[in-house]
């Protein structure tokens, strides 16, 4: 990841390298018990409010340093944040770290909630 530019600019660049999956599809995966690790890259104050049930918390700033301990590289990984920009950056970082099966939740938790996805507190 380049350190220059705004989050929106960096996310726009990363979108060319990371697959985004619509919320309805991710909700179907979750409901169907598909073997996926859900990684929430929001800040602790956001995580403490609500999250996708069963998600792992790994704030964006700690993805590169903490991914190995939090997320097995052989697993399918769905990364999400509030709107989808931070998750694109995190998914791109995971891809650079060698994670082969990583996607970003398109539209983030806002899209998840709008599509009827369950939350836990």
CATH number for the domain including 54? 3.40.250.10
CA dihedral of residues 59, 63, 66, 69 (deg, nearest 10): 100
**Span 47-102, pLDDT tens digits:** 999 999 999 999 999 999 999 999 998 999 999 999 999 999 999 999 999 999 99
Q: For the beta carbon of residue 99, count every other beta carbon within 10 angstroms.
A: 21
Paired strand residues for 105: 21
Query: pTM (2 decimals)?
Result: 0.91
Residue-number span of the structural domain to which 92 is assigned: 7-114
Residues 31, 53, 37, 110: is their CA dihedral positive or negative? positive
User: Taking Cα atoms as reference points, which of 92, 84, 81, 29 lies closest to residue 57?
Assistant: 81
Q: Is residue 2 a part of any domain in this protein?
A: no
Q: Is residue 120 a part of any domain in this protein?
A: no
R_g over Cα of the chain: 13
């Amino acid at each position: 990841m380049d350190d220059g530019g705004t989050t929106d600019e960096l996310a726009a660049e990363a979108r060319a390298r990371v697959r985004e999956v619509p919320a309805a599809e991710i909700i179907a995966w979750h409901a169907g018990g598909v073997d996926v690790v859900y990684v929430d890259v929001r800040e602790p104050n956001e995580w403490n409010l609500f999250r996708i049930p069963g998600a792992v918390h790994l704030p964006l700033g700690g993805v590169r340093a903490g991914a190995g301990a939090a997320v097995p590289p052989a697993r399918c990984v769905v990364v999400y944040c509030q709107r989808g920009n931070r998750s694109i950056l995190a998914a791109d970082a995971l891809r650079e770290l060698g994670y082969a099966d990583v996607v970003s939740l398109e539209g983030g938790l806002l899209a998840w909630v709008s599509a009827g996805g369950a939350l836990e507190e």
